[in-house]
């Protein structure tokens, strides 16, 4: 029971991190970056490929590469699409996601690559007579630390202020002197860093990395940011968390019917959207600016 | 999507796409057996892209849910026409509800039924979905696709689950498929220039002004969604009668993105765009496939490395969006007016 609750919280935290990465980018340029999943994938590949190096160096390399891919993604593709209809941008990000999947397939092969990353995180320990997996505890701790760090960044620093201002009203923020190019690049780099954190947690539990590794979690995080309320970072993280917890709870509760967990999750999502189209942190049904 | 669309009947707008559809089918169909099959699949895709055009193109609301209607159409058509002994004995179908086994109708009756059932389901789900706007609508339609796929993939009482339903009778005559596609095109054209069609364009162009003039956004979107559900069901049904098997995986993410890409590359605001997108993406894909296999393309031998085809298609797609985000046709209908301009210059 305790283990199930811990699993639910850790999965929720993981999805919250992924949702936060998507939410950051959405806030500054109204773009639902589906290719965020491919940032998670490249980070996972990097972790697996550099497994023989000391963990800290491997992590540093991974962050660098992932952030660079995120930065280049913005510079080469999304910068040219600014101000285009959001539906077109979404479709373009699907296209980019396919491009990256194919490129990964060419570089790393279609078969999964795997390696044991951070082996000390696998296993379980006894606590008050209960067996608890280390990874679930580490995931929760890591998520809390990252969320706190992000919270500090967003609430207390100048960059965070600019990000929030841009998320609230990008045009006004620009008029008030926020440098849009720099801010959008920063948001992408940050989303790359978050993708690395997500990839690290994922790889510890499931080291079989294939070109589609990040797709599933991105879809669920996307669902999360929409039901949480896409126009605020807090809503995005909360939405991701809720999706993770619901999915985990469904998996526990449904027993043999757990193959239908996604159906129940999506039904819940539909209901939430119909009751609160702007997400559950929104005030009533204001018209979306998208 | 600020331009595109049309309000008056114009013969060239209708005959242009019909002519391209017929001529392309005629030439490709006769070329070789493998091209014939590609043509047949392309005709199915075209009907699907038309379905998307009616809703996504005209209303400006993105839908990822149309794969569910295609899946449903394909399922209904496949189950109603697959031979009884197959349904009763195939290993993939051993848990099937017994009342489903003896059901059997004529292939064209099955197609009509699948279109109607898909349309009905679209209308019912639309009552809920059409209340949403923007991104929420996109995610909600995606949720619909997720639920449909999840149920059909896992439930072995209603269908083959993750396996295939074999031995679905096929339509081998390409011209029957062409006829269906052409009829769909004509229907969509007359719907688009109808009063309701024009009203939907109005809601796409200005979601504030249209309601102020007494238009119910919900109502017109629901009508478009239902009609596009009918067409998506028909497309799914055509697909299953070309492929000869029903498989749930055929109508999931790849299918959804491929058909949406066709619409957007061509230009989502027009029928001409839907057709150009379908022809282009199918054509480029096929040419690259031939290059990969070192077959001559228009008499030229250009070889590209194995596996690079998918990369090239995806890169082209993204580059295309960067170059012209409202599609190659810019959402305009087919027109010969440029000829007049040319002759005036001379």
Q: What's the CA gap between A244 and A228, in Å, rounded?
A: 12
CA-nearest of B312, B311, B316, B309 to B265 is B316
pLDDT tens, position by position, A206-226:
889 999 999 999 999 988 988
Which chain A residues contact residue B134 at CB under 8 A? 86, 288, 290
pLDDT tens, position by position, B72-95:
999 999 999 988 888 877 777 778
Please report whether residue B157 resides in a domain: yes
pLDDT of residue B102: 82
Please report whether residue B100 resides in a domain: yes
**Which of A70-79, A249-258, B323-332 has the least mean pLDDT?**
B323-332
Do residue B261 and residue A277 have CB atoms under 8 angstroms apart? Answer: no
Whether the CB-CB separation of B232 and B293 falls below 8 Å is answered with: no
Q: Is B150 touching A (CB cutoff 8 A)? A: yes
Q: Is B55 touching A (CB cutoff 8 A)? A: no
- In terms of CA atoms, which chain A residue is nearest residue B62? A87
Whether the CB-CB separation of A26 and A165 falls below 8 Å is answered with: no
Give the single-character DSSP code of B165. Answer: B
Please report whether residue B339 resides in a domain: no
Q: What's the CA gap between A170 and A155, in Å, rounded?
A: 18
Residues of A with CB under 8 A from a CB of B: 32, 77, 80-81, 84-88, 90-92, 94-96, 98-99, 102-103, 105-106, 219, 222-223, 226-227, 230, 259-260, 262-263, 266-267, 269-270, 273-274, 277-278, 287-288, 290
Mean pLDDT confidence for B241-262: 90
Per the structure, the count of domains in chain B is 1
* All structural domains of chain A: 2-275 (1.10.3470)
Whether the CB-CB separation of A198 and A189 falls below 8 Å is answered with: no
- In terms of CA atoms, which chain B residue is nearest residue A268? B143
Which chain A residues contact residue B132 at CB under 8 A? 273-274, 277
- In terms of CA atoms, which chain B residue is nearest residue A270? B140
CA-nearest of B148, B161, B132, B131 to B69 is B148
- Among B134, B211, B266, B307, the residue to mutate for chain A (most A Cβ within 10 A): B134
The minimal CB distance from B135 to the residues A91, A226, A287 is found for: A226
Which chain A residues contact residue B151 at CB under 8 A? 260, 263
Do residue B132 and residue A99 have CB atoms under 8 angstroms apart? Answer: no
Please report whether residue B270 resides in a domain: no
Q: What's the CA gap between A247 and A241, in Å, rounded?
A: 10
Which domain range does residue B106 map to?
11-252
Report the interhelical angle of B308-323 vs B271-292 (nearest 10°). 150
pLDDT of residue B125: 95
Own/partner contacts of A47-55, CB < 8 Å, gap of 24 or more, are A47/A115, A47/A117, A47/A199, A47/A200, A47/A203, A48/A113, A48/A114, A48/A115, A48/A117, A48/A203, A48/A207, A48/A209, A49/A113, A49/A115, A51/A115, A51/A116, A51/A117, A55/A117, A55/A118
Which chain A residues contact residue B146 at CB under 8 A? 262-263, 266
Q: Which helix (DSSP H) or strand (DSSP E) does residue A198 occupy? A: helix A180-205
- A16 alpha carbon, distance to own chain's centre: 7
The minimal CB distance from A260 to the residues B138, B143, B150 is found for: B150
Do residue B260 and residue A266 have CB atoms under 8 angstroms apart? Answer: no
Q: Angle B132-B136-B142 (CA atoms, 0-180°, nearest 5)?
A: 105
Q: What's the CA gap between B278 and B263, in Å, rounded?
A: 7
Whether the CB-CB separation of B151 and B258 falls below 8 Å is answered with: no
Do residue A223 and residue B139 have CB atoms under 8 angstroms apart? Answer: yes
Please report whether residue B279 resides in a domain: no
Q: Which of A237-241, B153-157, B229-233, B330-334 has the highest mean pLDDT?
A: B229-233
pLDDT tens, position by position, A31-51:
889 999 999 999 999 999 998
Q: In this prediction, what percent of chain B has a pLDDT beyond 90? A: 44
CA-nearest of B278, B225, B194 to B5 is B194
Do residue A95 and residue B321 have CB atoms under 8 angstroms apart? Answer: yes
- The overall average pLDDT reported for chain A is 85
pLDDT of residue A82: 79
Quick check: B209 pLDDT over 70?
yes
pLDDT of residue B1: 41
Partnered with residue A221 across adjacent β-strands are none
Q: Angle B118-B121-B123 (CA atoms, 0-180°, nearest 5)?
A: 110
Do residue B154 and residue A259 have CB atoms under 8 angstroms apart? Answer: yes
Give the single-character DSSP code of A131. Answer: E
For chains A and B, count residue pairs whose Cβ atoms are closer than 8 Å. Answer: 116
């Amino acid at each position: 029971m305790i283990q199930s609750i811990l699993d639910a919280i850790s999965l929720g935290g993981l999805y919250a991190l992924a949702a936060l990465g998507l939410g950051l980018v959405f806030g500054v340029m109204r773009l639902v970056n589906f290719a965020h999943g491919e940032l998670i994938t490249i980070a996972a590949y990097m972790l697996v490929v550099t497994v023989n190096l000391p963990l800290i160096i491997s992590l540093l390399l991974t962050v660098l590469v992932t952030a660079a891919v995120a930065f280049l993604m913005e510079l080469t593709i999304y910068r040219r699409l600014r101000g285009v209809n959001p539906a077109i941008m979404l479709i373009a990000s699907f296209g980019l996601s396919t491009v990256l999947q194919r490129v990964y397939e060419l570089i790393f092969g279609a078969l999964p690559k795997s390696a044991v990353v951070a082996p000390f995180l696998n296993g379980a320990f006894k606590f008050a007579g209960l067996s608890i997996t280390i990874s679930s505890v580490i995931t929760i701790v890591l998520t809390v630390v990252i969320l706190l760090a992000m919270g500090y960044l967003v609430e207390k620093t100048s960059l965070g202020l600019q990000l929030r201002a841009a998320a609230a009203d990008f045009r006004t923020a620009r008029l008030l002197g926020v440098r849009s190019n720099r801010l959008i690049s920063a948001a992408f780099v940050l989303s790359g860093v978050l993708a690395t954190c997500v990839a690290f947690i994922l790889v510890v539990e499931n080291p079989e990395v294939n070109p589609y590794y990040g797709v599933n979690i991105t879809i669920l995080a996307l669902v999360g940011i929409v039901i949480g309320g896409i126009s605020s970072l807090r809503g995005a993280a909360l939405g991701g968390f809720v999706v993770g917890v619901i999915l985990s709870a469904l998996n526990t509760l449904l027993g043999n019917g757990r193959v239908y967990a996604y159906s129940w999750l999506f039904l819940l999502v539909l209901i939430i959207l119909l009751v609160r189209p702007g997400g559950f942190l929104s005030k009533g049904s204001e018209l979306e600016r998208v | 999507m600020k331009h595109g669309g049309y309000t008056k009947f114009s013969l060239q707008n209708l005959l242009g796409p019909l002519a391209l559809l017929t001529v392309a089918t005629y030439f490709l169909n006769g070329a070789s057996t493998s091209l014939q099959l590609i043509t047949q699949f392309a005709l199915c895709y075209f009907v699907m892209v038309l379905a998307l055009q009616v809703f996504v193109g005209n209303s400006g609301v993105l839908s990822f849910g149309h794969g569910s209607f295609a899946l449903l159409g394909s399922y209904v058509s496949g189950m109603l026409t697959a031979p009884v002994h197959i349904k009763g004995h195939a290993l993939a179908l051993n848990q099937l509800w017994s009342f489903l086994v003896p059901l059997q109708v004529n292939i064209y009756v099955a197609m009509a039924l699948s279109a109607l059932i898909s349309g009905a389901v679209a209308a019912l789900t639309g009552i809920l979905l059409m209340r949403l706007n923007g991104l929420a609508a996109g995610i909600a339609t995606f949720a619909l696709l997720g639920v449909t796929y999840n149920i059909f993939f896992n439930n072995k009482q209603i269908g083959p689950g993750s396996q295939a339903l074999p031995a679905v009778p096929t339509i081998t005559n390409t011209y029957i498929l062409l006829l269906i596609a052409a009829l769909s095109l004509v229907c969509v054209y007359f719907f688009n220039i109808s009063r309701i069609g024009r009203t939907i364009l109005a809601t796409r162009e200005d979601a504030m002004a249209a309601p102020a003039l007494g238009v119910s956004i919900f109502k017109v979107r629901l009508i478009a969604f239902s009609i596009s559900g009918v067409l998506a069901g028909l497309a799914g049904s055509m697909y299953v009668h070309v492929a000869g098997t029903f498989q749930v995986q055929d109508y999931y993410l790849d299918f959804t993105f491929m058909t949406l890409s066709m619409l957007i590359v061509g230009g989502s605001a027009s029928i001409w765009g839907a057709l150009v997108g379908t022809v282009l993406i199918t054509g480029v894909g096929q040419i690259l496939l031939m290059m990969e296999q070192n077959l001559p393309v228009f008499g030229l031998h250009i070889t590209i490395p194995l596996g690079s085809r998918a990369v090239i298609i995806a890169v082209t797609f993204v580059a295309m969006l960067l170059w012209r985000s409202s599609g190659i046709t810019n959402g305009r209908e087919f027109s010969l007016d440029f000829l007049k301009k040319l002759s005036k210059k001379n």
